[in-house]
Structure 1
Amino acid sequence: MTDLENDVEVPRFFLCPISLEIMKDPVTLSTGITYDRDSIEKWLFSQKNDVCPVTKQVVVDIELTPNHTLRRLIQSWCTINASSGIERFPTPRLPISRTEIVKLLKDSKSPQLQMKSLKRLKTIVMENEKNRRLMESVSAADYLASILTTGAGEVSGVDGCVSTEADEALRILYHLKLSPTGLKSLFGKTENFVVTLTRVMQRAASFESRAYAVMLLKSMFEVAEPIQVTSLNTQFFTELVHILVDQISQKATKATLKLLISVCPWGRNRIKAAEAGVVPVLIDTLLDTTEKRLTEMIMIVLDQLCQSAEGRADLLKHGGGLPVVSKKIFRVSSIASERAVRILYSVAMFSGNARVLEEMVQLGVVGKLFLVLQVDCGSKMKEKAKEILKMHSRVWKKSSCIPNDLISAYPS
Structure 2
Amino acid sequence: MKKMYVFFMLIVFLSMTVLSENYTFIFKDVQLFYTVSNETSFFVPEGFDVLWISGVDSWELKKVYQHFPFKIASLEDYTQKSIEAIDEDVYKIVGTNEILFYNPQLNHWCVTDEKNKDKIQPTTQILLKNPKSAVIALRGEGSWEVIYEMKSDGTFNKNVQFNGVPVGQNNLYLVNEYLNLSSRDYIESTKLLSSTRIVNEDDFGMVAQEAILSQTYTMNLGKINFQNTLMNVRISQNDILSYEDRNVINFSLYSNIPNYTKTQIIRHIENAKYNGLGIELPSGEVWIHEEFDNESFPIKLAYIEDTPVGDSLKINLGESWNVQYKIEKLSDVEVKSANSRIVDFLITVKNFSDDRQIVNLSMFEPNIEIEEMHVEGNYQNLKNNSEKGKIDIVFDIIDEVKIRMTIKTVLKE
Q: Same fold (TM over 0.5)?
A: no
TM-score by length of 1: 0.23
Greater per-residue helix proportion = 1
Q: Quick one: higher RCO (CA 8 Å, sep 6+), 1 or 2?
A: 2
TM-score by length of 2: 0.23
